[in-house]
């Protein structure tokens, strides 16, 4: 009897040790689908919404997105933001700050929750963080459908699998006058633009679709509902990065030199 136990124990230990890797390894061989409900960023006076599906196959993502209810007639910069560590989340009312006398959330205010823009969801050409503000290649209008297949880095693919990725669509109409103006002052990302042009409008964390769940269970890693707790210490880091990069250059400071 004891011999049998001794024989099983190493197997049991191995199974426990490998369990987390076995799940991701099996998924990496095929496609894995992630979804996000794009919800209005609080305090920014947004009434729109959207949804996005990201199908990951190796280091390629196929994106399908629908958005409605945003400010019409303007481009909406959009990105997959990635956190270096910890689950991605969307900003809450508590993240709002005074901007030109108005409580609102600009892109920097949310970075402790959703990280830096890594993948620019442009309509053509480059999709790196270099194109974060390439508004001439971003979807335009109140409502749009976006479909594109993009090659990303292995690190970015892993971040999506890890729940460290969130989709953010930018461009708001804070004072509801149908256009961008300087009601919130200049943009934190590019002082030549009004803050309304770059402030986050919609946000959603990419979560593995239920379709990917292993039937035997154990894949339910949960959402980001408690992610805020671990973000407290990162707020200073996010601010430091922005300061280090300078206004408007914050997007580029974290760019990885990836050759694909």
Nearer to Cu ion, 27 or 140 (CB): 140
Q: How far is the CB of 46 from Cu ion (least distance, A)?
A: 14
Q: Which stretch binds Cu ion (CB under 5 A): 14-22, 116-124, 180-188, 252-260?
A: 116-124
Q: Which stretch binds Cu ion (CB under 5 A): 5-13, 54-62, 114-122, 202-210?
A: 114-122
Q: Are the C-beta atoms of residues 214 and 19 closer than 8 Å to each other?
A: no
At 141 the three-state DSSP class reads coil
Q: How far is the CB of 27 from Cu ion (least distance, A)?
A: 26
Which pair of tokens denotes residue 18? 């490998």
Nearer to Cu ion, 132 or 183 (CB): 132
Q: How far is the CB of 214 from Cu ion (least distance, A)?
A: 32
With binding defined as CB under 5 A, does residue 168 bind Cu ion? yes
The three-state (H, E, C) secondary structure of 171-212, written as one string? CCCCCCCCCCCCCCCECCCCCCCEHHHHCEEEEEECEECHHH
Which pair of tokens denotes residue 140? 């335009």
Interface positions, 59-88, toward Cu ion (CB under 5 A): 79
**Site size for Cu ion, by CB under 5 A?**
3
- What CA–CA distance (Å, rounded) separates 235 from 179? 31
Alpha-carbon 115 to chain mean position: 7
12 CB neighbour count, 10 Å cutoff: 10
Q: How far is the CB of 88 from Cu ion (least distance, A)?
A: 12
- What CA–CA distance (Å, rounded) separates 110 from 107? 5
Cα four-point dihedral sign 100, 105, 110, 114: negative
Q: How far is the CB of 208 from Cu ion (least distance, A)?
A: 21
Nearer to Cu ion, 14 or 155 (CB): 155
Nearer to Cu ion, 52 or 168 (CB): 168
Nearer to Cu ion, 168 or 183 (CB): 168
Q: How far is the CB of 123 from Cu ion (least distance, A)?
A: 15
Nearer to Cu ion, 32 or 118 (CB): 118
Nearer to Cu ion, 32 or 198 (CB): 198
Which of 117, 163, 204, 228 touches Cu ion (CB under 5 A)? Answer: 117
Q: Are the C-beta atoms of residues 151 and 157 closer than 8 Å to each other?
A: no
- What CA–CA distance (Å, rounded) separates 251 from 63? 22
DSSP 217: S
* List of residues contacting Cu ion (CB under 5 A): 79, 117, 168
């Amino acid at each position: 009897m004891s011999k049998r136990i001794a024989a099983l124990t190493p197997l049991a230990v191995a199974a426990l040790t490998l369990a987390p890797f076995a799940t991701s390894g099996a998924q990496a061989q095929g496609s894995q689908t992630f979804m996000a409900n794009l919800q209005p960023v609080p305090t920014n006076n947004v009434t729109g919404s959207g949804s996005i599906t990201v199908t990951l196959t190796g280091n390629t993502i196929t994106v399908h997105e629908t958005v409605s209810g945003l400010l019409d007639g303007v481009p909406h910069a959009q990105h997959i933001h990635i956190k270096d560590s910890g689950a991605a989340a969307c900003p809450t009312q508590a993240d709002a700050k005074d901007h030109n006398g108005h409580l609102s959330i600009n892109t920097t205010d949310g970075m402790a929750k959703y990280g830096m823009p890594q993948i620019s969801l442009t309509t053509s050409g480059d999709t790196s963080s270099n194109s974060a503000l390439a508004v001439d290649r971003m979807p335009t209008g109140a409502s749009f459908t976006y479909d594109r297949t993009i090659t990303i880095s292995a690190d970015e693919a892993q971040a999506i699998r890890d729940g460290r990725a969130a989709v953010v669509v930018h461009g708001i109409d804070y004072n509801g006058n149908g256009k961008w103006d300087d009601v919130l002052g200049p943009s934190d990302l590019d002082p030549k633009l009004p803050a309304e042009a770059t402030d986050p409008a919609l946000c959603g964390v990419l979560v593995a679709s239920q379709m990917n769940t292993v039937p035997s269970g154990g894949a339910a890693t949960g959402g980001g509902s408690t992610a805020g707790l671990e973000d407290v210490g990162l707020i200073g880091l996010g601010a430091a990065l922005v300061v280090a990069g300078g206004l408007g250059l914050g997007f580029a400071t974290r760019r990885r030199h990836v050759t694909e």
